[in-house]
Amino acid sequence: MDGTIDSLLAGLTFYHRVRMDEGIQTGISRDRAEILERFEIVGEEYDPYVAWYVELRCEGQGLPEMAEEARQWFLELGPVAFDGLERLASSIEAGSDPTAVPPLIWSDFSSSPPGVAMKLVTGALRQDDAHHLPDRLRSVGRHWTALILGLESTLHEAH
């Protein structure tokens, strides 16, 4: 990684964002382009600002290029993601402040795929959301498989 904006944002990313209007955006992006996504509208009032989020950013050799390959890759990564989300949640409970210098970046994974660097990035806009962040991160971990399987392709085939 050379430190440029492009190198920081390139790669494969799983994201889960909850907006102020309780809309939930979950997806997978490849080199900053969404390839799988799901957006759920929950609240009635429109407020697109993100209340809290978590991203699992992956960089390295051999990352999948196609949407369904990326889905399978993240499904197989489930135990590592679950462990990372649990450990990040415990770190926040132990004293890391997710609102001190947003975003909070964590990369102390117990394992990762060969040649792949991974980091969890999370943050919250309001103190109340930050206070509940550990529980929300654990919820993402517990629902990892369902979140990944619920994603839809953003690519539409021409007929």
Asked whether 74 and 28 are in contact (CB, 8 A), the reply is yes
Report, as an integer, the average pLDDT of 45-49.
Answer: 87
* Verdict on whether the full-model pTM lies above 0.75: yes
Predicted confidence band of residue 97 (pLDDT cuts 50, 70, 90): low
Listed residue (63, 55, 73) closest to 116, CA to CA = 63
**pLDDT-based confidence at 2, cuts 50/70/90?**
very low
Among candidates 92, 96, 72, 89, which has minimal Cα distance to 145?
A: 72
Site of tokens 């415990």: 90
Pure H helices in the chain: 5-9, 67-76, 78-93, 127-131, 133-142, 144-149
Question: 10 or 32, which is more confident?
Answer: 32
21-30, 35-44, 72-81: range with lowest mean pLDDT:
35-44
- φ, ψ (nearest 5 deg) of residue 32: 70, 5
* pLDDT, tens digit, 9 for 90 and up, residues 98-154: 555 568 899 999 999 999 999 999 999 888 888 899 999 999 999 999 999 999 998
Judged against a pLDDT cut of 70, whether residue 70 lies above it is answered with yes
pLDDT band at 71 (very low <50, low <70, confident <90, very high): very high
Judge contact between 45 and 98, C-beta under 8 A: no
pLDDT of residue 125: 86
Spatial CB neighbours of 74, under 8 Å, sequence gap ≥ 6: 14, 28, 56, 81, 148
Residue 20 has pLDDT above 60, yes or no: yes
pLDDT number for residue 130: 85
